[in-house]
Chain A
Amino acid sequence: MSGRSPRRGGSIGRLERPALAGVLTREVINFSSFWRATTFSSTVEPTIYLLAFGFGFGSLVSEVSGYDYVEFVGTGTVATAVLFSSVFPAMFGTFIKYQFQRTYDAILAAPVDTEELVTAEALWIATRAGTFGCTPLLVAMVFGLDPRAGMLLVPLIGFLAGFGWACFGILVAAVLKSIDNFNYVTSTVITPLFLVAGTFFPISNLPEWARVLAQFNPLHHCVELVRHAAFGFEPGTDVLRVLALLGFGLVMWRLAIWRMTKKLVD
């Protein structure tokens, strides 16, 4: 005769620290095997933008919105570094891990659920984005940007924006069926947002519709917060910008979890 086994151990809750730590540990151990290549691309690329725009346009334009142009671009490029080192690893890394390497199948067979998996992945990417985002600032310092105490908040601003972008990237990877389709998102979403963010030129000179749209662009808020961290905060508007980034991160986080759950659990 057979019967049901008595339950041993109680239920396990949501968003548990050991599950998040387990996924993060996997990322850290993996990162140790490819950190050179990732760090290289995540830091050299925005630095080239900084040097090209800074010295290219800088020779034509000495001052923008009251800032020296190299300083303007130097602070703006931080947001570019944050964007590049969060949205692209999230899109491509997530797709490769679930589609080709089947890593997520292995992780979800352990006591980890999709919510924890997505959260830990986004936290890790955001941490990297916050760190890599500082590189252009350091390069700009070499070219004359004065260090200020407020700059110590730049990694946090990068982390906050990077979390939202990482979740956006995970969402894209969960929704699209082919890695080739990422080109549509890059061309129609990321590139326009990247250009209408006040990174290389101020949005104040753009048409009104573009200025209105920029207020819905999380990258623009990241650019402005970094710039204010370097040149002086504007508490009233900066709090709203932080709230905008928090809202962006929160919405993208929940959407990414929803779509990844649909993707990973039949």
Chain B
Amino acid sequence: MTDLAIDLRGVVKRYGELTAVAGLDLEVPEGTCVGLLGPNGAGKSTTMKMLTAQAIADEGEITVLGHVLPGDSKAARAQCGVVPQLDNLDTTLTVEQNLRVFAHLYRIERSRRRAAIERALGLANLADRRDTRADKLSGGMRRRLLIARALVHQPRLVLLDEPTVGLDPQVRQELWALIDALRSEGVSILMSTHYIEEAERLADTVTIMAEGRAVASGPPSALVAEHVGRDAVEVYGPPARLAEVEREAQDGGFRTRRTGTSVAVLGVEGSNGAHSPPDADGHAGHLALVRRSLADGHRRETNLEDVFVLLTGEEAT
């Protein structure tokens, strides 16, 4: 039996006519990293806000570190660290002052405060920038400071809301290393993101959200195997040809994913390139057509992006 750091059951959140979260079930086992993957507007940020009681669910149950929200939210927040999507550092304060403020807000005892700040500075590799004002830091450093601020009290659970959004690839890699180190220390992590690679690299399990619901959940490799098989064939051509391939593949029982310049036919693995769609029986005619189309295509391994696009209907970032 595994303890749950986060447990959401049938959570609904409405803003007037708009239902931002529509019956979400979500579990984050302690010591694991769960990626909340979804397009913009899927309800990820609203879910994050509900976990700190900055949004109150209209229906359902939310339990964080054993505390039932919203009533017991403050006790849960004392053991959580939150990295927001939008930078909300005190820009006129130095790196160290920003951490000191949160060492107080998170109630770290006076005798442990100094060491906690030094540890957070070290984790975020900002020790040599301790006296730099936050508004003088680069975008990557500011984001590292936000993470350090969330870790200053050594939380049991860290909520990362789009932790690398808007950052260049090199800085993103640095932050991934930092998050990975955190995960290896056994800290429970819930990370919302719309970057597929981020979820694939860091998350033990991924929950894909669309229109406020969890549409799939599991380890990335299992999601890929379950929804899109092992191999895909990417067929390029003019729009009319792509539409034809798409129709033939779907008639043959294959799932497809359309991009601007190609159609990916998913789950085409089988012997000798002879494709074995799930409902191949009785579709011999279609199969022949599909085989002909796929012969022109480029074979590749399927990935989480295929699952994301297939289940959400959105193009991946």
B-contacting residues of A (Cβ < 8 Å)? 1-12, 18-19, 21-23, 25-26, 29-30, 33-34, 101-103, 105-113, 264-266
Segment among B48-56, B124-132, B171-179, B206-214 that sits at the interface with chain A: B48-56
Task: List the 6 closest pairs (A to B, CB-CB), nearest first.
Answer: A7-B66, A5-B3, A102-B88, A22-B105, A109-B82, A266-B55
User: A108 CA to B80 CA in the complex, in Å?
Assistant: 12
| Closest A residue by C-beta to B157 | A5
> When each residue 12-35 of chain B gets 1 if its CB lies under 8 Å from chain A and 0 otherwise, what string results?
010100000000000101100000
Q: Are the CB atoms of A266 and B4 closer together than 8 Å?
A: no
User: A33 CA to B131 CA in the complex, in Å?
Assistant: 13
Q: Are the CB atoms of B105 and A3 closer together than 8 Å?
A: no
In B294-316, the 8 Å CB interface with A consists of none
**Are A1 and B82 also in contact (CB < 8 A) when A26-B101, A266-B15, A266-B56 are?**
no
Q: CB < 8 Å: which of B3, B13, B52, B89 contacts A108? A: B52
Q: Are the CB atoms of B93 and A113 closer together than 8 Å?
A: no
> Chain B nearest CB: distance from A39 CB in Å?
16
Q: CB < 8 Å: which of B63, B75, B102 contacts A9? A: B75
Q: Are the CB atoms of A2 and B105 closer together than 8 Å?
A: no
Residues of chain A within 8 A of B276, CB atoms compared: none
Instruction: Tell me, yes or no, whether B92 is within 8 Å of chain A by CB.
Output: yes
User: A26 CA to B99 CA in the complex, in Å?
Assistant: 10
Q: Are the CB atoms of A109 and B92 closer together than 8 Å?
A: no
Instruction: Tell me, yes or no, whether B221 is within 8 Å of chain A by CB.
Output: no
**Are A107 and B79 also in contact (CB < 8 A) when A2-B1, A3-B2, A8-B65 are?**
no
Q: Are the CB atoms of B52 and A26 closer together than 8 Å?
A: no
User: A7 CA to B68 CA in the complex, in Å?
Assistant: 9
Q: Are the CB atoms of B88 and A101 closer together than 8 Å?
A: yes
Residues of chain A within 8 A of B55, CB atoms compared: 265-266
Residues of chain A within 8 A of B5, CB atoms compared: 5
Instruction: Tell me, yes or no, whether B275 is within 8 Å of chain A by CB.
Output: no
Residues of chain B within 8 A of A111, CB atoms compared: 74-75, 77-78, 105-107
Q: CB < 8 Å: which of B29, B54, B149 contacts A2? A: B29
Q: Are the CB atoms of A11 and B63 closer together than 8 Å?
A: no
**Apart from A8-B79, A103-B90, A111-B75, what 15 extra A-B contacts exist at CB < 8 Å?**
A2-B27, A2-B29, A12-B75, A19-B105, A23-B105, A25-B105, A26-B90, A29-B90, A29-B100, A105-B84, A108-B52, A108-B54, A110-B106, A111-B77, A111-B106
Among A5, A6, A19, A30, chain B packs the most CB atoms within 10 A around the CB of A5
Q: CB < 8 Å: which of B56, B67, B78 contacts A265? A: B56
> When each residue 81-120 of chain B gets 1 if its CB lies under 8 Å from chain A and 0 otherwise, what string results?
0101011111111000100111011110000000000000
User: A5 CA to B2 CA in the complex, in Å?
Assistant: 8
Q: Are the CB atoms of A12 and B27 closer together than 8 Å?
A: no
Residues of chain B within 8 A of A5, CB atoms compared: 3-5, 7, 30, 63, 65-66
Residues of chain B within 8 A of A25, CB atoms compared: 100-101, 104-105
| Closest B residue by C-beta to A116 | B74
Residues of chain A within 8 A of B180, CB atoms compared: none
A-contacting residues of B (Cβ < 8 Å)? 1-5, 7, 13, 15, 27, 29-30, 46, 49, 52-56, 63, 65-67, 71-72, 74-75, 77-80, 82, 84, 86-93, 97, 100-102, 104-107, 149
User: A12 CA to B77 CA in the complex, in Å?
Assistant: 10
Q: Are the CB atoms of A6 and B92 closer together than 8 Å?
A: no
Q: Are the CB atoms of A6 and B88 closer together than 8 Å?
A: no
User: A101 CA to B135 CA in the complex, in Å?
Assistant: 12
Residues of chain A within 8 A of B97, CB atoms compared: 29
User: A8 CA to B66 CA in the complex, in Å?
Assistant: 7
Q: Are the CB atoms of A6 and B104 closer together than 8 Å?
A: no
> Chain B nearest CB: distance from A14 CB in Å?
9
| Closest B residue by C-beta to A22 | B105
Residues of chain A within 8 A of B3, CB atoms compared: 3-6
> Chain A nearest CB: distance from B117 CB in Å?
13
User: A18 CA to B103 CA in the complex, in Å?
Assistant: 11
Q: CB < 8 Å: which of B66, B90, B101 contacts A6? A: B66
Q: Are the CB atoms of B88 and A33 closer together than 8 Å?
A: no
Residues of chain A within 8 A of B92, CB atoms compared: 30, 33-34
Q: CB < 8 Å: which of B1, B88, B107 contacts A3? A: B1
> Chain A nearest CB: distance from B10 CB in Å?
15
Q: Are the CB atoms of A4 and B63 closer together than 8 Å?
A: yes
Residues of chain B within 8 A of A109, CB atoms compared: 52, 54, 77, 80, 82, 84
User: A6 CA to B66 CA in the complex, in Å?
Assistant: 5
Q: Are the CB atoms of A110 and B77 closer together than 8 Å?
A: yes
Residues of chain A within 8 A of B53, CB atoms compared: 265
Residues of chain B within 8 A of A19, CB atoms compared: 105
Q: Are the CB atoms of A2 and B107 closer together than 8 Å?
A: no
User: A260 CA to B85 CA in the complex, in Å?
Assistant: 22
